[in-house]
């Protein structure tokens, strides 16, 4: 199975894909990250990814702590796709911030700094687009876009299990397009926190969610082998 074959996904709205892909010249961000890693350091096999509608609907059910009816479909319309896009990139951003001080050589630190810049830009675009639509009701749930982001952020804080490092959008005019701590610095998460969140299990040794077979990096594998 090739890396591309291991990704499970449905087709998102093409017009929104174009908006998100323009700055990447038509190349998806995960592929850009993979190319960046391979061109800088020795890479590792891409893990199996589940980006299906079912995978996202399960995340939303967990975020609201009850099943949504009908199940949330990330590919149904532009707003749903933006909300689905909100689920993952910020987690990677906090992971890069947390990992950078732990890296021991300049090449790795330079790579992570470069990836962090791109990831931050993507997250800012997504949050800005959602902020413009923060008061919109997400059909057919009659819940605002801002409320959706808050439920998602609270879920990530809960799964990470190490305090508040995430914040959804506010609906008033005070604005919080960019998320940051009291000093306006990006929050940092450890590799263990990242695994707990992307697995959706709250446990770095229990794979699931977007990574049904777990991660393929040394840290992820160390927890899987000890499970």
Please report the pLDDT score of residue 226 as a whole number.
Answer: 73
Separation of alpha carbons 54 and 34, rounded Å? 25
pLDDT of 215 over the 60 cut: yes
Tokens of 85: 């896009």
pLDDT at residue 7, rounded to an integer: 44
Structure confidence at residue 62 as a pLDDT band (50, 70, 90)? very high
Task: Tell me if residue 58 falls in helix, strand or coil.
Answer: helix
For the chain, the maximum distance between any two Cα atoms, rounded to a whole number of angstroms, is 50
Q: Give the Cα separation of 169 and 2 in Å (integer).
A: 38
Query: In terms of pLDDT, which residue wins out, 43 or 28?
Result: 43
> CA separation (Å) from 152 to 42, 45, 76, 168?
34, 29, 18, 7
The answer to whether the beta carbons of residues 55 and 73 sit under 8 Å apart is no
What pLDDT digit, counting tens, does each position of 91-133 carry? 989 999 998 888 888 888 888 888 888 888 889 999 999 999 9
More reliable by pLDDT, 57 or 172: 57
Over residues 19-37, mean pLDDT: 47
Decide if pLDDT at 19 tops 70. Answer: no
Over residues 63-74, the pLDDT tens digits come to 999 999 999 999
pTM of the model: 0.81
Give helix 78-87 / helix 145-160 axis angle, nearest 10°. Answer: 20
At 158-204, the pLDDT tens digits run 999 999 999 999 887 677 888 888 888 899 999 999 999 999 999 99
Per the prediction, the chain carries an average pLDDT of 83
CA distance 163 to 161: 6
DSSP helix/strand/coil, 126: helix
Query: Burial, 6: exposed, middle or buried (Cβ in 10 Å; 0-12, 13-18, 19+)?
Result: middle
DSSP reduced 3-state for 9 = strand
């Amino acid at each position: 199975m090739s890396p591309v074959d291991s990704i499970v996904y449905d087709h998102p709205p093409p017009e929104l894909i174009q908006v998100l892909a323009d700055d990447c010249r038509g190349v998806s961000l995960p592929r850009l990250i993979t190319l960046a890693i391979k061109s800088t350091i020795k890479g590792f096999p891409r893990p199996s990814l589940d980006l299906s509608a079912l995978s996202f609907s399960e995340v939303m059910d967990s975020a609201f702590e009850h099943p949504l009816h009908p199940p949330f479909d990330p590919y149904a319309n532009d707003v749903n796709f933006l909300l689905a896009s909100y689920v993952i990139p910020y987690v990677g951003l906090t992971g890069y911030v947390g990992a950078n001080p732990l890296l021991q050589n300049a090449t790795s630190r330079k790579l992570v700094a470069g990836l962090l810049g791109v990831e931050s830009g993507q997250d800012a675009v997504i949050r800005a687009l959602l902020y413009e639509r923060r008061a919109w009701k997400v059909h057919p749930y009659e819940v605002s876009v801002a409320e959706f982001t808050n439920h998602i952020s609270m879920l990530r804080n809960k799964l990470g299990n190490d305090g508040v490092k995430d914040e959804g959008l506010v609906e008033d005019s005070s604005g919080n397009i960019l998320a940051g701590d009291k000093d306006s610095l990006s929050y940092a998460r450890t590799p263990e926190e990242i695994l707990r969140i992307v697995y959706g299990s709250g446990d770095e040794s229990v794979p699931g969610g977007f990574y049904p077979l777990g991660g393929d990096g040394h840290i992820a594998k160390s927890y899987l082998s000890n499970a």
